[in-house]
Amino acid sequence: MATVVERERKYSGDEGFQLPDLTGCGGVVTMSDATVSDLDAVYWDTDDLLLLRSGHALRRRTGGHDAGWHLKVGAVGGARVEHQFPAGASDDGPPPELAALIR
């Protein structure tokens, strides 16, 4: 299991805006042109949407470098803790370690 802190920010610019080279700023190691990734996610919750109402998200995603199960917890100060579990041979439901975190 990997645990990361995620801070998501969305910005927009006028037509023609070009992002300056941010290499070396705030931990940016390299920059490259945008790439396309084909991701597919299925979100899981209880019938009464308890996870959503608690500010959590549980998904099973395919594609990308971090395919597998993801549990995003809370949003304190704009940051969310994300627990990542690799995809298993049989993914009929979340792995036991993830289910324990949800409980």
Q: Which residues contact 11 (CB under 8 A, 6 or more apart)?
A: none
**pTM, 2 dp:** 0.73
100 found inside a domain: yes
pLDDT digits (tens, 9 = 90+) for 48-63: 999 999 889 999 999 9
Over residues 43-52, the mean pLDDT reads 94
> Comparing C-alpha atoms, which of 4, 3, 6 is closest to residue 79?
6
Share of the chain above pLDDT 70, in %: 95
Residue 41 reports pLDDT greater than 80: yes
From CA 92, how far away is CA 76, in angstroms rounded? Answer: 31
Q: Where are the alpha helices (DSSP H) in 43-95?
A: 50-53
Q: Is 31 within the bounds of a domain?
A: no
pLDDT digits (tens, 9 = 90+) for 68-88: 999 999 766 778 899 999 887
Whether residue 30 is contained in a domain is answered as: no
Residue 61 within a domain: yes
Q: Is residue 25 part of a domain?
A: no
Does residue 22 sit within a domain? no
Q: Name the domain count of the chain.
A: 1
State which residues form the domain around 97.
Answer: 1-7+39-103
Inside any domain, residue 58: yes
